[in-house]
Amino acid sequence: MGHSATAWDQNSVLEVVKDWNGIDQVVLRVPRGASARVSLHGGQVVSWKNERGEELLFTSSKAMFKPPKAMRGGIPICFPQFGNCGSLEQHGFARNKMWSIDYDPPPLRNDDDKEKVSVDLLLKPSEDDLKCWPHCYEFRLRVSLATNGVLTMISRVRNINGKPFSFSFAYHTYLSVSDISEVRIEGLETLDYLDNLCQRKRFTEQGDAVTFESEEMTLHIRNLIHVLATLVDRIYLGSPNVIAVLDHEKKRTFLIKKKGLPDVVVWNPWEKKSKSITDLGDEEYKQMVCVDGAVVERPITLKPGEEWTGRLDISAIPSTHFI
Protein backbone atom coordinates (compact mmCIF):
# COMPACT_ATOMS: atom_id res chain seq x y z
CA MET A 1 0.00 0.00 0.00
CA GLY A 2 1.02 3.59 -0.39
CA HIS A 3 1.11 4.14 3.33
CA SER A 4 1.07 1.58 6.09
CA ALA A 5 1.76 0.90 9.71
CA THR A 6 3.05 -2.65 9.79
CA ALA A 7 1.44 -5.23 12.05
CA TRP A 8 4.36 -5.23 14.50
CA ASP A 9 2.62 -2.68 16.74
CA GLN A 10 -0.83 -1.19 16.32
CA ASN A 11 0.28 1.88 18.26
CA SER A 12 2.29 3.08 15.27
CA VAL A 13 0.44 5.87 13.52
CA LEU A 14 0.22 7.33 10.04
CA GLU A 15 -2.16 10.17 9.36
CA VAL A 16 -2.67 12.79 6.68
CA VAL A 17 -3.21 16.34 7.90
CA LYS A 18 -3.41 19.78 6.30
CA ASP A 19 -0.77 22.46 6.78
CA TRP A 20 -1.57 26.18 7.04
CA ASN A 21 -1.77 26.42 3.22
CA GLY A 22 -4.17 23.48 2.98
CA ILE A 23 -1.46 21.19 1.58
CA ASP A 24 -1.45 17.57 2.72
CA GLN A 25 1.29 16.43 5.08
CA VAL A 26 1.83 12.83 6.15
CA VAL A 27 2.66 12.37 9.83
CA LEU A 28 4.53 9.21 10.88
CA ARG A 29 4.67 8.25 14.56
CA VAL A 30 6.09 5.22 16.35
CA PRO A 31 5.29 3.94 19.87
CA ARG A 32 8.46 5.20 21.55
CA GLY A 33 7.56 8.77 20.62
CA ALA A 34 9.66 9.57 17.53
CA SER A 35 7.86 11.23 14.63
CA ALA A 36 8.38 12.55 11.11
CA ARG A 37 6.34 14.81 8.88
CA VAL A 38 6.41 14.75 5.07
CA SER A 39 4.83 17.43 2.87
CA LEU A 40 3.32 16.56 -0.48
CA HIS A 41 4.76 19.88 -1.63
CA GLY A 42 8.18 18.79 -2.81
CA GLY A 43 8.01 15.37 -1.17
CA GLN A 44 9.96 17.16 1.55
CA VAL A 45 10.55 15.84 5.05
CA VAL A 46 9.80 18.96 7.09
CA SER A 47 10.20 17.50 10.58
CA TRP A 48 11.97 14.61 12.29
CA LYS A 49 11.77 14.36 16.08
CA ASN A 50 13.31 11.89 18.50
CA GLU A 51 11.47 10.05 21.26
CA ARG A 52 11.87 13.09 23.56
CA GLY A 53 10.17 15.33 21.03
CA GLU A 54 13.40 17.19 20.11
CA GLU A 55 13.50 18.47 16.54
CA LEU A 56 16.50 17.03 14.69
CA LEU A 57 16.14 18.96 11.43
CA PHE A 58 16.74 22.68 11.06
CA THR A 59 14.07 25.01 9.68
CA SER A 60 14.70 28.72 9.33
CA SER A 61 12.53 31.11 11.33
CA LYS A 62 12.22 33.07 8.07
CA ALA A 63 11.31 30.05 5.94
CA MET A 64 8.63 30.70 3.33
CA PHE A 65 5.96 28.03 3.49
CA LYS A 66 3.97 29.05 0.44
CA PRO A 67 4.35 27.16 -2.85
CA PRO A 68 5.93 27.12 -5.30
CA LYS A 69 9.07 28.02 -3.32
CA ALA A 70 10.65 25.18 -1.32
CA MET A 71 10.88 25.62 2.44
CA ARG A 72 14.32 26.53 3.84
CA GLY A 73 14.98 23.51 6.03
CA GLY A 74 14.11 19.86 6.47
CA ILE A 75 15.19 17.60 3.61
CA PRO A 76 14.37 19.02 0.16
CA ILE A 77 14.78 16.68 -2.83
CA CYS A 78 17.19 18.00 -5.46
CA PHE A 79 16.20 16.48 -8.83
CA PRO A 80 16.91 16.33 -11.76
CA GLN A 81 19.66 18.86 -11.12
CA PHE A 82 21.81 19.67 -8.13
CA GLY A 83 22.83 23.29 -7.66
CA ASN A 84 23.20 25.40 -10.78
CA CYS A 85 25.21 22.90 -12.80
CA GLY A 86 22.64 22.74 -15.61
CA SER A 87 20.01 24.69 -17.49
CA LEU A 88 17.24 24.23 -14.88
CA GLU A 89 16.42 26.28 -11.80
CA GLN A 90 18.63 25.91 -8.72
CA HIS A 91 18.43 22.31 -7.43
CA GLY A 92 15.89 21.30 -10.09
CA PHE A 93 12.11 21.33 -9.92
CA ALA A 94 11.14 18.28 -7.82
CA ARG A 95 11.28 20.24 -4.54
CA ASN A 96 8.77 22.76 -5.91
CA LYS A 97 6.19 20.30 -7.30
CA MET A 98 3.15 18.69 -5.76
CA TRP A 99 3.61 14.97 -5.19
CA SER A 100 0.88 12.38 -4.68
CA ILE A 101 0.57 9.44 -2.32
CA ASP A 102 1.47 6.27 -4.18
CA TYR A 103 -1.10 3.70 -3.08
CA ASP A 104 0.22 0.83 -5.17
CA PRO A 105 4.02 1.10 -5.50
CA PRO A 106 5.97 -1.70 -7.17
CA PRO A 107 7.85 -4.01 -4.78
CA LEU A 108 10.99 -2.57 -3.23
CA ARG A 109 13.84 -5.05 -3.05
CA ASN A 110 15.95 -5.48 0.07
CA ASP A 111 13.81 -3.13 2.16
CA ASP A 112 13.07 -4.52 5.59
CA ASP A 113 9.76 -2.88 6.43
CA LYS A 114 9.42 -4.58 9.81
CA GLU A 115 9.07 -2.25 12.77
CA LYS A 116 8.56 0.75 10.48
CA VAL A 117 5.75 3.05 9.48
CA SER A 118 6.07 4.24 5.89
CA VAL A 119 4.54 6.37 3.17
CA ASP A 120 5.17 6.13 -0.58
CA LEU A 121 5.01 9.25 -2.72
CA LEU A 122 4.99 9.63 -6.50
CA LEU A 123 6.08 12.38 -8.88
CA LYS A 124 5.49 12.35 -12.64
CA PRO A 125 6.30 15.13 -15.13
CA SER A 126 3.66 17.67 -16.01
CA GLU A 127 3.34 19.25 -19.45
CA ASP A 128 5.20 22.31 -18.18
CA ASP A 129 7.97 20.09 -16.82
CA LEU A 130 8.39 18.42 -20.22
CA LYS A 131 8.90 21.81 -21.84
CA CYS A 132 11.98 22.56 -19.72
CA TRP A 133 13.19 18.98 -19.23
CA PRO A 134 11.74 16.75 -21.99
CA HIS A 135 12.09 13.35 -20.34
CA CYS A 136 9.39 11.00 -19.08
CA TYR A 137 10.11 9.47 -15.68
CA GLU A 138 8.52 8.07 -12.54
CA PHE A 139 10.01 9.19 -9.24
CA ARG A 140 8.90 7.07 -6.30
CA LEU A 141 9.91 8.12 -2.79
CA ARG A 142 9.45 5.99 0.32
CA VAL A 143 9.86 7.70 3.70
CA SER A 144 10.00 5.38 6.70
CA LEU A 145 10.37 5.84 10.44
CA ALA A 146 11.58 2.87 12.48
CA THR A 147 10.63 2.12 16.06
CA ASN A 148 14.14 3.18 17.14
CA GLY A 149 13.68 6.57 15.46
CA VAL A 150 15.82 5.95 12.36
CA LEU A 151 14.60 7.97 9.37
CA THR A 152 14.91 6.26 5.97
CA MET A 153 14.38 7.76 2.54
CA ILE A 154 14.48 5.59 -0.59
CA SER A 155 14.22 7.23 -4.00
CA ARG A 156 13.56 5.30 -7.20
CA VAL A 157 13.76 7.03 -10.57
CA ARG A 158 12.65 5.05 -13.63
CA ASN A 159 13.07 6.04 -17.26
CA ILE A 160 9.77 5.52 -19.08
CA ASN A 161 11.06 7.59 -21.99
CA GLY A 162 12.05 6.39 -25.46
CA LYS A 163 15.59 7.69 -25.06
CA PRO A 164 18.25 7.85 -22.33
CA PHE A 165 18.43 10.77 -19.93
CA SER A 166 20.84 11.90 -17.20
CA PHE A 167 20.28 13.63 -13.87
CA SER A 168 22.02 14.65 -10.67
CA PHE A 169 20.45 14.28 -7.24
CA ALA A 170 20.76 15.10 -3.55
CA TYR A 171 18.93 14.73 -0.26
CA HIS A 172 19.61 18.32 0.85
CA THR A 173 19.62 17.53 4.57
CA TYR A 174 19.50 20.45 7.04
CA LEU A 175 20.69 19.09 10.39
CA SER A 176 19.91 21.02 13.58
CA VAL A 177 23.03 21.61 15.70
CA SER A 178 23.82 23.46 18.91
CA ASP A 179 26.47 25.71 17.33
CA ILE A 180 28.38 25.23 14.10
CA SER A 181 31.66 25.71 15.97
CA GLU A 182 30.83 22.57 17.98
CA VAL A 183 30.35 20.38 14.88
CA ARG A 184 32.80 17.82 13.55
CA ILE A 185 32.21 15.69 10.45
CA GLU A 186 34.05 12.38 10.25
CA GLY A 187 34.35 10.08 7.26
CA LEU A 188 35.45 12.66 4.67
CA GLU A 189 39.14 12.82 5.58
CA THR A 190 41.65 12.31 2.70
CA LEU A 191 38.87 12.59 0.09
CA ASP A 192 39.02 14.76 -2.99
CA TYR A 193 36.38 17.47 -3.18
CA LEU A 194 35.09 20.03 -5.63
CA ASP A 195 34.94 23.53 -4.16
CA ASN A 196 31.94 25.46 -5.46
CA LEU A 197 33.58 28.66 -4.21
CA CYS A 198 36.55 28.10 -6.55
CA GLN A 199 34.79 27.27 -9.83
CA ARG A 200 34.56 23.64 -8.74
CA LYS A 201 38.32 23.18 -8.65
CA ARG A 202 39.45 19.88 -7.19
CA PHE A 203 41.25 19.73 -3.83
CA THR A 204 42.08 17.04 -1.28
CA GLU A 205 40.81 17.15 2.30
CA GLN A 206 43.84 17.51 4.58
CA GLY A 207 42.25 17.45 8.03
CA ASP A 208 41.41 14.46 10.19
CA ALA A 209 37.84 15.78 10.18
CA VAL A 210 35.83 18.68 8.77
CA THR A 211 35.34 21.31 11.48
CA PHE A 212 33.97 24.83 11.64
CA GLU A 213 35.56 27.48 13.85
CA SER A 214 35.51 31.23 14.41
CA GLU A 215 37.98 33.23 12.38
CA GLU A 216 39.82 34.29 15.54
CA MET A 217 40.52 30.70 16.51
CA THR A 218 41.49 29.84 12.96
CA LEU A 219 44.44 32.25 13.14
CA HIS A 220 45.91 30.28 16.02
CA ILE A 221 45.31 26.71 14.94
CA ARG A 222 45.32 26.86 11.16
CA ASN A 223 48.51 24.82 11.01
CA LEU A 224 47.29 22.19 13.44
CA ILE A 225 43.89 21.23 12.07
CA HIS A 226 41.99 21.85 8.88
CA VAL A 227 39.47 24.59 9.69
CA LEU A 228 36.66 26.01 7.62
CA ALA A 229 36.02 29.57 8.78
CA THR A 230 33.83 31.02 6.04
CA LEU A 231 31.11 29.96 3.66
CA VAL A 232 31.48 26.22 2.96
CA ASP A 233 30.15 24.67 -0.24
CA ARG A 234 31.94 21.46 -1.14
CA ILE A 235 31.22 18.22 -2.94
CA TYR A 236 33.24 15.33 -1.47
CA LEU A 237 33.77 12.58 -4.04
CA GLY A 238 33.76 8.81 -3.71
CA SER A 239 32.74 9.02 -0.06
CA PRO A 240 32.24 6.02 2.25
CA ASN A 241 28.71 4.85 2.89
CA VAL A 242 28.80 5.95 6.55
CA ILE A 243 29.39 9.55 7.68
CA ALA A 244 29.24 10.85 11.26
CA VAL A 245 28.26 14.41 12.21
CA LEU A 246 29.25 15.04 15.83
CA ASP A 247 27.66 17.82 17.89
CA HIS A 248 29.86 18.12 20.97
CA GLU A 249 27.62 20.48 22.94
CA LYS A 250 24.51 18.35 22.52
CA LYS A 251 26.57 15.16 22.90
CA ARG A 252 24.75 13.88 19.84
CA THR A 253 25.98 12.20 16.68
CA PHE A 254 24.05 12.02 13.45
CA LEU A 255 24.98 8.78 11.72
CA ILE A 256 24.33 8.99 7.98
CA LYS A 257 24.27 5.75 6.00
CA LYS A 258 23.75 5.81 2.26
CA LYS A 259 23.56 3.62 -0.84
CA GLY A 260 23.70 4.69 -4.48
CA LEU A 261 24.92 8.12 -3.39
CA PRO A 262 28.69 8.37 -3.99
CA ASP A 263 29.08 12.06 -3.15
CA VAL A 264 28.56 14.12 0.01
CA VAL A 265 27.80 17.83 -0.12
CA VAL A 266 28.75 19.94 2.91
CA TRP A 267 27.24 23.43 3.08
CA ASN A 268 27.11 26.20 5.65
CA PRO A 269 26.50 29.80 4.51
CA TRP A 270 28.40 31.44 7.40
CA GLU A 271 27.82 35.05 8.42
CA LYS A 272 28.20 37.11 5.24
CA LYS A 273 26.25 34.80 2.95
CA SER A 274 23.48 34.35 5.53
CA LYS A 275 22.75 38.08 5.44
CA SER A 276 22.09 37.86 1.70
CA ILE A 277 19.61 34.96 1.97
CA THR A 278 16.14 36.38 2.46
CA ASP A 279 14.62 33.23 4.01
CA LEU A 280 17.44 32.65 6.50
CA GLY A 281 18.08 34.60 9.70
CA ASP A 282 21.39 36.46 9.95
CA GLU A 283 22.64 34.30 12.83
CA GLU A 284 20.91 31.04 11.96
CA TYR A 285 23.94 29.61 10.17
CA LYS A 286 25.20 28.76 13.67
CA GLN A 287 22.33 26.31 14.24
CA MET A 288 22.52 24.32 11.00
CA VAL A 289 24.74 22.34 8.69
CA CYS A 290 23.80 20.61 5.45
CA VAL A 291 25.35 17.18 4.88
CA ASP A 292 23.82 15.70 1.74
CA GLY A 293 23.97 12.22 0.28
CA ALA A 294 24.26 13.05 -3.41
CA VAL A 295 25.12 12.17 -7.00
CA VAL A 296 26.81 15.21 -8.51
CA GLU A 297 30.20 14.63 -10.15
CA ARG A 298 29.03 11.78 -12.40
CA PRO A 299 25.30 12.11 -13.13
CA ILE A 300 23.15 9.01 -13.40
CA THR A 301 22.24 7.97 -16.95
CA LEU A 302 19.22 5.74 -17.41
CA LYS A 303 18.36 3.89 -20.59
CA PRO A 304 14.66 3.32 -21.39
CA GLY A 305 13.16 1.06 -18.73
CA GLU A 306 16.10 1.34 -16.34
CA GLU A 307 15.72 2.38 -12.70
CA TRP A 308 18.08 4.01 -10.19
CA THR A 309 17.77 3.73 -6.41
CA GLY A 310 19.32 6.03 -3.80
CA ARG A 311 18.87 5.35 -0.10
CA LEU A 312 19.57 7.43 3.00
CA ASP A 313 19.29 6.28 6.63
CA ILE A 314 19.79 8.86 9.39
CA SER A 315 19.96 8.14 13.10
CA ALA A 316 20.70 10.41 16.06
CA ILE A 317 22.64 8.66 18.83
CA PRO A 318 24.72 9.60 21.89
CA SER A 319 28.15 10.83 20.81
CA THR A 320 29.91 8.07 22.68
CA HIS A 321 28.71 5.72 19.93
CA PHE A 322 30.02 6.61 16.50
CA ILE A 323 32.30 5.26 13.80
Can you say which residues are annotated as belonging to the binding site for substrate? 72, 90, 95
- Residue numbers belonging to the annotated binding site: 72, 90, 95
From residue 71, give the alpha-carbon distance in Å to each of 62, 81, 121.
Answer: 9, 18, 18
Name beta bridge partners: 219. none
CA distance 102 to 140: 8
138's CB contacts (< 8 A; 6+ apart) are: 122, 123, 124, 156, 157, 158, 160
Give the whole-angstrom CA distance, residue 255 versus residue 232: 21
Which residues are bridge partners to 295 per DSSP? Answer: 169
Spatial separation of the C-alpha atoms in residues 13 and 176, rounded to whole Å: 25
| Contact (CB, 8 A) for 236 and 276 | no
